[in-house]
Amino acid sequence: MEQHKNDVPFELKAWTSKNGFAHWGSAELADYDVLLGELGVQRQNNIIGFEPDQLMARYGLESPTNLVELDACIEALNLAKELTLRTILNDALNIDSLLDANALSSLKQVTDVFKEGSTESLLDLLVFPAFLQWQPEDIIAWPVTSLATLLESPKAQALGKHLTAKLDWYGGANDQTPSAVILAKLIWKAIALDLDPRADLCGFDIDQPIHWGKSYSTLNHEIERFIETSTNAFSPTTAQLAIWVLKPNYPAGLNIKGVPAQLAHRRSSAWLHLQHGINLAEALEVGLSSRMDYQALQNLSSKILEGSTPDQQIFVSAAMTPPLVDWAETRGLIQAKPDNGYADADINRAFSSFMAEEKKLENAIVQLQKKVPDRLDMAQQLLAQEQIAPDTIFLDRSGRSDEHIRANGSGFSFDTSLRTRRLALDLVASGRLSGPSPDWMPPLIKWARIFTPTSGCVIKTCPTSPPSSRLTLSSGSLQPLQHWKQSPMHYWMTCPWRSA
């Protein structure tokens, strides 16, 4: 949800930073309405004449002194109101727990009477005139505020009065005042029931194989487009509202705060842990999962198992089975669910595969936490294995091939200036001795006489070489230092003494 644009003036950011609204969670919603109403009039007329200074002072805020600060104040207040409304709706009673099949049927009856035979959706009938000035981008920026605006409109409140009366709830009588939040949730439920009677997102089945492995961000986008086309929205404004009205019907997990956008549906172990946590939370209290964030749900099973009883362990295990078999089916480890359910062997196979996956992930994390190997240390170890002194001098062979050097070795001349001389340690550490024909070689080539008989390669060095320096090697080409081991070049690399 975007509220702050990248091109916001510095003065606006500075005013917002100085006048933080994070502590407005305890504010009265009426305060927001008073302030936003006053500021809106000023913004419309491009004037600065702020009236409710005492209200601003109550929350430790400075009144705006110019139009830029006025914009900042309006934006910050909108954000504060949005977050406050979200908290109120999330923490309020889960209305579904109070509505059985008979109650839902009563909601539909009241809705049908209220529509008076109209073929339009209940949402379309309630939108106007409450949203005459709203644009789709406003609803995208402030979704909960826009939903609250709809639910508090005169038409919606009249509908709510009929609903409470039909259900015989407190507030249905003329002399009774119902809870504003309960009434709002009841109206919300009636609108959602009219748009999506089966509460299945108008038929969008997230568990069809075509959706397996899709990221949560992709699924959310596809659901939104599906709702827009399935609800036959009267306008783009109504279409955006329909998406938010039907949020409670989204599959568990898609509305959880903090869920990674790239979480793979049914395919990743992180998804399994999330669904496990959701099942546990809902078993403890209906609607609890919607008030928990992603990390809390991921850790819920471990928290319950701390000092758990045998019954609690069975409870945790049972809650894991449904997402476990879904995960295993998606990965092709077990077949689609048969009519008589999964056999114990299938569940055990799925669990074993999951634990193997977890172990692999654990090992990967351990490796990532290890100290990164030092390139210089690795080079010294490799040189020690090859019995090459780190200060062995290598010369730049300037791209000359092994064949060229073998053919001209006895009279070959090298420029031995510092520009063309490097230590073995530097070359190995920097990777410049890698490849089938490295550009660097030991200086012993200056004295070597190379013969290439029919079988193998015989290398002779200068008369002062040790007697054991005559070698017979097979030619070939391997990776980095191994290349020298199976070609004539190996002698110059591994000779235990160096030229002066």
pLDDT band at 18 (very low <50, low <70, confident <90, very high): low
Nearest to 264 by CA among 321, 227, 211, 221: 211
Q: Which residues contact 60 (CB under 8 A, 6 or more apart)?
A: 23
pLDDT at residue 186 is higher than 70: yes
**Structure-token pair, residue 95:** 């209305």
Which carries the bigger pLDDT value, residue 471 or residue 289?
289
288: region left, alpha or beta (phi > 0 left; psi from -120 to 50 alpha): alpha
Can you list the alpha helix ranges (DSSP code H) found in 292-374?
Answer: 294-305, 310-330, 344-369
| pLDDT value of position 387 | 80
Query: Within 10 Å of residue 237's Cβ, how many Cβ atoms?
Result: 21
For residues 69-85, give the mean pLDDT. Answer: 83
Torsion 20-22-26-31 (CA) sign: positive
Query: Within 10 Å of residue 50's Cβ, how many Cβ atoms?
Result: 18
pLDDT at residue 151 is higher than 50: yes
Strands laid side by side in the 471-473 sheet: 449-451, 457-460, 471-473
pLDDT at residue 218 is higher than 70: yes
Report pLDDT digits (tens) over 245-255: 999 899 888 98
Judged by DSSP in three states, 328 sits in: helix
Query: Within 10 Å of residue 311's Cβ, how many Cβ atoms?
Result: 8
pLDDT at residue 415 is higher than 70: no
Nearest to 301 by CA among 276, 326, 318: 276
For residue 286, the number of C-alpha atoms closer than 13 Å in the C-beta half-sphere is: 8
pLDDT at residue 352 is higher than 80: yes
| pLDDT value of position 8 | 41
Average pLDDT, the chain: 77
Nearest to 53 by CA among 35, 67, 80: 35
- pTM tops 0.85, yes or no: no
Report pLDDT digits (tens) over 355-378: 998 888 888 877 777 776 778 888
Q: Which residues contact 404 (CB under 8 A, 6 or more apart)?
A: none
Which carries the bigger pLDDT value, residue 114 or residue 67?
114
pLDDT at residue 21 is higher than 80: no
pLDDT at residue 123 is higher than 80: yes
| pLDDT value of position 478 | 25
| pLDDT value of position 460 | 36
pLDDT at residue 162 is higher than 70: yes
What does the alpha-carbon distance between residue 30 and residue 287 come to, in Å, rounded to a whole number?
A: 28
Report pLDDT digits (tens) over 287-298: 889 889 999 999
For residues 429-453, give the mean pLDDT. Answer: 57
pLDDT at residue 349 is higher than 70: yes
What does the alpha-carbon distance between residue 60 and residue 21 come to, in Å, rounded to a whole number?
A: 9
User: Do residues 417 and 467 touch, judged by C-beta distance below 8 A?
Assistant: no
What does the alpha-carbon distance between residue 248 and residue 186 come to, in Å, rounded to a whole number?
A: 13
**Structure-token pair, residue 361:** 């992930």
In percent, the amount of the chain with pLDDT more than 90 equals 33
Can you list the alpha helix ranges (DSSP code H) found in 196-342?
Answer: 216-230, 236-245, 269-284, 294-305, 310-330
Report pLDDT digits (tens) over 31-72: 778 888 888 888 888 887 766 777 777 777 777 888 888 888
